[in-house]
Amino acid sequence: MLVLGTVQLGIPYGIANSTGQPSQKVATSIIAEAWKNGICEFDTAQGYGISESVLGIAFSELGINTKVRVISKFNPQIDHLDQDAMLNAIEASIERLRISKLYGIMLHREELLSLWNKGLFEVLKKFVLTNKAERIGISVYTPEIAIEALQTDGIDMIQIPANIFDRRFENAGVFQLAEKKKKEVFIRSVFLQGLLLMDISMIPKKMSFAIPYIEKVDKLSKELRLTRHEIAFGYIKSAIPSAKIVFGAETKEQVIENLSAWQKDVSAFLSEKVKAIFPNVDEKLLNPSLW
């Protein structure tokens, strides 16, 4: 299942972003195209600039406020043990989004899980009990914390990075555990912030270490007669079928392109080929903060 990620609608984002932050008109067209094609879940955050407000205006203009499911994340700068501050924050998100409640509210930093038994769970539980959010989750960066989160009572969903290069969570058994615990998994960074789709000539000099990896993807692309886009989506779709995939777009055309790539039938051999070609990938490539 596809989920529209909306960080691009609130701030200029991603190494491959060539158009910058879209206008409200363009943002509304992006959301309209996603909705028209059956995408009803939208991922945002209080820290994504004006993303929540842009979404709220679009939902209102399109008349879909009561039908969408929105997952947002708390600004990590808030004192997460301050009940009033957290209440004000979630109510402000709901107001900006122009919806009656959130489908999910997530912690935006994995280190915040350390506060869970120090009062944070009690704070968040009240938001579910008062119908401000249906589900509670956390965005994580490491398999260890993902496993800890999945084993934590009260957490219903996690968001993690995964792509053809980054299979750390897969190898650690995170997806099997999520299925066993009946918890939702949202996968972000399927295109590694757009790097996987960039023309090699456009990759910055400081990122030259990524070129040999992209060249291997191009070789696989020719062999299987699939685009890089189709390989990136196809791998996740076949290897982790239960996960929800968060993708972003800066134009309506990109939504259409993503949907086309998602719907492409891929070879049953794709998953095994990816694992054989990229058995271990340097963290320097996997972690954008190291770029």
The per-residue pLDDT for range 76-127, each reduced to its tens digit, is 999 999 999 999 999 999 999 999 999 999 999 999 999 999 999 999 999 9
Range of the domain at 195: 2-290
Q: How many domains does the chain have?
A: 1
| Domain at 233, CATH number | 3.20.20.100
Exposure letters 93-116 (e unless 16+ CB within 10 A, then b) = bbebbbbebbbbbbbbbbebbeeb
Query: Residue holding tokens 């949202």?
Result: 186
The per-residue pLDDT for range 14-50, each reduced to its tens digit, is 555 556 789 999 999 999 999 999 999 999 999 999 9
C-alpha–C-alpha distance, residues 61 and 129, integer Å: 30
Prediction pTM value: 0.93
